[in-house]
Amino acid sequence: MAHSAARSETLRRLRAATGRLATAALRNLDAEYPWFRSLPAQERSWVGTVAQAGISSFVAWYADPQHSHRSATEVFAAAPPELTRSVSLQHTLSIVRTVVEVVESHSDEFASPGAEQEVREAILLYSREIAFSAAEVYARAAETRGAWDARLEALVVDALVRGEVDDDLPSRAAALGWKPGPTLVLVGLTDGALGEVQSAELRRTIRRAAPGALVGIHGEDLIVIARSDDDHDVLVRGLLHSFGPGPVVRGPRSITLIEVARATRAAVSGVLAAPAWSLAPRPVSADDLLPERVLVGDSAARERLVTIAYDPIVQAGGALSETVASYLECGRSLETAARSMFVHPNTVRYRLKKVAEITGWDVLAHRDAHVLEMAFALGRLRDASRESL
């Protein structure tokens, strides 16, 4: 009976002291932690709400320990979910520790005579409950953010693959940590169909090599979009082992989100087209696959090939386009081309060297000749359609 009366008296004193204890806890937080002092006013008020709820919850728990889990969880329900973003778990535990220390330091004031030891033990037990509740709240918040980030990442990558860069895409990409700058795009295949666990492990592996990379897994297609100021050639070597067998295509270097979308579409098209070039390297540039991409119906590749491999030669004049055309149509023979144009073979050789300097493609090399042959065919078709208009 005496114990019950002492407990009731302790509870009465505790309830009367909650406001004073919360004020003391906030004062200690302000004195001890610079991070707390730098918080905006709204977030400081959230912390105050949590501190007040923590003390009130301890009072409720002390009155009925059987409801310990519910009471401890209610401490964090008093603040909005945004608190887990602005205040880290480590800082939250600092708040809990400070509140517990304040309550413990004042325990002699509100504990009835003879109940001091019991109150201290209750404080220790309750602090454990609060710590576990804090960890649970932050784990749940992290899981929710992870699921949301995964959905947001899928939306962003899908939009880039489709080339749909609307007004919302930059903010969505920024929410995932992407910002304009040198961006590497790699597209290839996974090592067969992946389950949820395998997909998660693959993403972790890729992000160890390229922190913050956007990763899209569409069936057996693997898309990696990595914003990095480091050497992209080194980054490619670090990422290459994450892809399964088959071609891996590197998109053109890009900086803005619109350029990233073009690079992504080019690389996706390149993966479809790469089997047409049996000797394609791994990885291979999407621009090196322009002729094959034209064959699979890539209109952007068609336009780019004409722009960078046909138009510069025509615009250079000096019979360069005639020389390239004659060389290609004469079975890629210098002598035959020279005879058809009534010039010396060295003249043909000189002109073809100029073409290599202008375009970067050496028509005397088998692969480059194939690229220029396709470019000239497409360029002539375009010119003919313009003349007919």
Element at 284 (helix H, strand E): strand 284-285
In the chain, % of residues over pLDDT 70? 85
List all residues 6 or more positions away from 321 whose beta carbon is below 8 Å from its beta carbon: 313, 314, 376
User: In terms of Cα–Cα distance, which of 38, 48, 142 is closest to 95?
Assistant: 48
| 75-84, 253-262, 312-321: the lowest-pLDDT one | 75-84
CATH class of 2-144: mainly alpha
Task: Write out pLDDT tens, residues 168-205.
Answer: 888 888 877 788 889 999 999 988 887 777 888 888 88
User: Which residue carries 């009130």 as its tokens?
Assistant: 56
Architecture of domain 179-286: 2-Layer Sandwich (3.30)
Span 40-53, pLDDT tens digits: 877 777 777 777 77
> pLDDT digits over 105-140, tens only?
777 777 777 667 777 777 777 777 776 666 666 666
Q: What number of residues does the chain have?
A: 389
Domain at 310-388, CATH homologous superfamily: PucR C-terminal helix-turn-helix domain (1.10.10.2840)
Residue that the structure tokens 């073409």 belong to? 355
Cα–Cα separations (whole angstroms), residue 114 to 14, 68, 242: 15, 24, 67
pTM: 0.63
CATH 1.10.490 location in the chain: 2-144
CA distance 240 to 189: 11
